[in-house]
Structure 1
Amino acid sequence: MTVHGEVRPGFEAVQDAFADIVAASSGGVAFSVVRRGEPLVELWGGSASPGVPWTRDTRVVVFSGTKGIVATVVAVLTAHGLLGPGERVARYWPEFAAAGKADVPVSQVLAHSVGLPYVEPDLPMADNAANAAALAAQRPLWTPGTKVAYHALTYGYLVTELVHRVTGQRVGELVQELLAAPHDLDLRLGTPPTVPVATLQRAPGYRISTFLQDPERRRIVERMYRGLLDSTDTMNSPAYRGAELAAGGAVATAGAMARLYDLVLTGALLPAAVLAQATRTWSEGIDAINDRPLRFGLGYELADPIGTYGPPTADPAAFGHSGAGGGRHGAWPSRGVGFSFATNELQAEDVDMRASSLLAALDGALRTQERNGK
């Protein structure tokens, strides 16, 4: 398959790595890198849907890349004085004080250490309000703040309700008003069925939680994900894309995601002090459910021991959020770049080297420029 797009001089190795990915792909892929508003890399290839080629403007569900978008909204609200990471959740959402959660701070919700990784009752996935109410009444699995475990879907319900309590608005409205519309970003949380979106597909052997071997905790993972990633029916449905699920339902182009992180770095969205607060370590350790190394800021994933955000030479201060099946969206502050790898072909984490190979090539290209004083 043909590689489309272009790279700035000096980034040819990134294009070569991308060409290898496209050649091995049965779906579509895109990689975008932006520095201070200027694209350094803008590449795409493969198919968005059967018989439909991927283009520069192809949108795709970014799954948990959504969490990075929503973390940015929360940081903007923090900058406006509407939320405080050290404040009790119950200050904004009184019902949350139930079941021993009266003193839980907002930071523990954002940093995946609150101990509410699944919803006890079997509720419709798309009902944000009902799931939030159930979580408010629910007792945590552990003393909040003592363990960290990825809250795959419940992060979205919790943050959606918090945002609504302090603004009176839906989180999808705020994504549009604070991020997308002012900066002409093609990203949405709550996508109308008339908006074209790439068709998601699972690679053979696709599976989640590849670090996990324990069968008892595997059952917890199944409760967490509710079968969302078991087939393509739900994830490709207009109902899923339209539900404003703040943990995994956003739709965007790779270019929009890279530009979002570039805007965060340049100060166009956040004061430096708020960004520093949001991207310092708030929780860290081995996931108590999934056995995967984790580091979180306030909703953002941070650079970790397994190289989620590139090789060790890339940037130890990297932040962003990955997405199920291989998406990788984030920033290297010391290099001044925002990046996004987007795909509609879901691959298992233990075999998927696509984003890692691109970030390694990007790191090499930037190091060459830096040695040459560019």
Structure 2
Amino acid sequence: MREAFDDVLAGTSGGAAFSVVRDGEVLAELWGGSARPGVAWTRDTLVVLFSGTKGVVATVLALLTARGLLDPGERVATYWPEFARNGKEDVRVSQVLSHTVGLPYVEADLPTLDNAGNAAALATQRPLWTPGTRVAYHALTYGYLATELIRRVTGRNVGALLPGLLGDLDIHLGTPAAEDYRLAPVTRAPGYRISTFLSDPERRAIVERMYRGLLDSGEAFNTPEYRRAELAAGGATGTAAAMARLYDRIGSGLVPAPVLAEATREWSAGLDAVNDRPVRFGLGYELADPIGTYGPVEVAFGHSGAGGGRHGAWPADGLGFSFTTNELRAEDVDDRAATLLAALRTCL
């Protein structure tokens, strides 16, 4: 694992970390490079998790389901009455969590960081397709929808629930200013692109509406405002050590087995209707897919993050893993996580 990590690090601008945990035991914990100019990466270096956040939020949703506060088979409108408009009257919670609801972008021109405003807009919006009939990654809107559902059933914002539900893990949604000194600012590798499976220009326009320039222009993701906004689709920060421990704990009883089985079975799969990428989803979690996102295993769950982050679990091996980096690379040329997961498989 150390040799594989050294190879990955040698080709990475900035820094990276990789952690593997099984039954609470650290099997590998590696880090290196620089968090920012003149500052070395350490075990405690925080990074923006981007869509790795969705796996954290999926765990919160599973725990709320275990406590009887949320039912994936229930209508969204049962918890959020205003949602029952424009063809969404019978939309199920499971359709929101498995990216089949048909709301991949917000039509209204609203600030990206406005959770409440974007959720209210989505409640009035008509889906692009009949909910449940197509799957397409809801890059940002997943977060607005999940945040509002959680607020409706708990009365609290999702970031405030993390310590009580996840324990002492070094993962933050609404990162406090006191932790900013540990953060590794994100940079883009030359030639960085999003949606690398997509060539159709019409659907490329949809992608641009989905992401609002967040990843491919500007540096909003490096601002304190972004980290404070509690964006449940991509605004959390964490360490590789903490994320690996999270996925180890999920499989070791944090989420009750029957609830976890439902959350990690296939709820949607196929070619993404917008991005042309093969996808498989559980309830908020990504699942092992045909392009090997989670390494050379048949069963896995977790969530990847823009630019290279990879966080998840291999249930058959009883372990959790996490790769973090502050250099964004395009998916079609980034083999860092794949290299590390292949080495891990060989070790096991």
Q: Which of 269, 275, 279 is the equivalent residue of 1:284? A: 269
- Report what 1:253 is aligned to: 239
Corresponding residue SS for 1:116? coil
Q: Are 2:191 and 1:209 aligned?
A: no
Q: Which of 34, 45, 52 is the equivalent residue of 2:32? A: 45
Q: Is contact 1:89-1:106 (8 Å) kept?
A: yes
**Aligned residue pair count:** 346
Q: Which amino acid aligns with 1:307?
A: G
CA distance in 1 between counterparts of 2:245 and 2:232 reads 20
Identity %, equivalent residues:
73
Q: Are 2:181 and 1:194 aligned?
A: no
Q: Is contact 1:123-1:131 (8 Å) kept?
A: yes
Paired residues for 1:10-29 under 5 Å: 14-29=1-16
Displacement of 1:175 in angstroms is 1.5
- Report what 2:80 is aligned to: 93
Q: Is contact 2:35-2:45 (8 Å) kept?
A: yes
- Report what 2:97 is aligned to: 110
Gaps of 5+ in 2: none
- Report what 2:137 is aligned to: 150
Displacement of 1:232 in angstroms is 4.9
CA distance in 1 between counterparts of 2:219 and 2:275 reads 25
Q: Is contact 1:201-1:232 (8 Å) kept?
A: no
Q: Which of 305, 311, 317 is the equivalent residue of 1:329? A: 311
- Report what 2:169 is aligned to: 185
CA distance in 2 between counterparts of 1:146 and 1:92 reads 23
Corresponding residue SS for 1:341? strand
Q: Are 2:256 and 1:275 aligned?
A: no
CA distance in 1 between counterparts of 2:219 and 2:265 reads 38
Q: Is contact 1:200-1:232 (8 Å) kept?
A: no
Q: Which of 344, 355, 358 is the equivalent residue of 2:340? A: 358
- Report what 2:210 is aligned to: 224
Provide TM-score, normalisation by structure 2: 0.99
Paired residues for 1:150-169 under 5 Å: 150-169=137-156
- Runs (4 or more) in structure 1 with deviation over 3 Å come to none
- Report what 1:302 is aligned to: 287
Q: Is contact 1:111-1:299 (8 Å) kept?
A: yes
Q: Structure 2 vs 1, CA of residues 295 and 157 (structure 1 numbering), >3 Å: closer, same or farther?
A: same
CA distance in 1 between counterparts of 2:130 and 2:40 reads 49
Corresponding residue SS for 2:219? helix
- Report what 2:59 is aligned to: 72
Displacement of 1:317 in angstroms is 1.9
CA distance in 2 between counterparts of 1:248 and 1:87 reads 26
Paired residues for 1:111-150 under 5 Å: 111-150=98-137
CA distance in 2 between counterparts of 1:240 and 1:230 reads 15
Displacement of 1:239 in angstroms is 0.3
What's the C-alpha RMSD, in Å, of the aligned pairs? 0.7
Q: Is contact 2:194-2:216 (8 Å) kept?
A: no
Q: Which amino acid aligns with 1:360?
A: A
CA distance in 2 between counterparts of 1:232 and 1:341 reads 24
Q: Is contact 1:153-1:248 (8 Å) kept?
A: yes
Corresponding residue SS for 1:334? helix
Displacement of 1:194 in angstroms is 3.1
CA distance in 2 between counterparts of 1:75 and 1:339 reads 19
Q: Which amino acid aligns with 1:116?
A: L
CA distance in 1 between counterparts of 2:219 and 2:276 reads 28
Displacement of 1:233 in angstroms is 1.8
Q: Deviations over 1:143-179 (max 9, x none)?
A: 0000000000000000000000000000001122211
Q: Is contact 2:304-2:311 (8 Å) kept?
A: yes
Q: Which of 326, 338, 345 is the equivalent residue of 2:327? A: 345
Q: Is contact 1:258-1:340 (8 Å) kept?
A: yes
